[in-house]
Amino acid sequence: MLEPLLNLDLRSCLYPEENTPSQKINQTAIAQPAIFAIEYALSQLWLSWGIHPAILIGHSIGEYVKTAFF
């Protein structure tokens, strides 16, 4: 969904070709959507396992994320 907006496939930043480090992932405009995509995918995985968090708290671009299960 973000590829047309970023003019970039995030997968190429998250999973660069072997021996080709991605410098773009250090750019905020790429890092923020990448972090969101990973966190969203993780939440969908948890939901598919029947894990339903009671509280989700995050900060800034996701460097602090806390999930509480009750």
The token duo for 31 is: 């890092």
Indicate if the alpha-carbon torsion angle 46, 62, 35, 4 is positive or negative.
Answer: positive
Q: How many domains does the chain have?
A: 1
User: What is the model's pLDDT at position 5?
Assistant: 83
From CA 40, how far away is CA 46, in angstroms rounded? 10
Please answer whether residues 67 and 54 qualify as being in contact, where contact means their C-beta atoms are separated by less than 8 angstroms.
no
pLDDT, one tens digit per residue, over 25-70 is 888 888 888 888 888 888 889 889 998 877 777 666 655 555 566 5
Domain that holds residue 10: 1-69
User: What is the model's pLDDT at position 48?
Assistant: 94
From CA 42, how far away is CA 56, in angstroms rounded? 13
Q: Does pTM surpass 0.85?
A: no
User: What is the model's pLDDT at position 61?
Assistant: 60
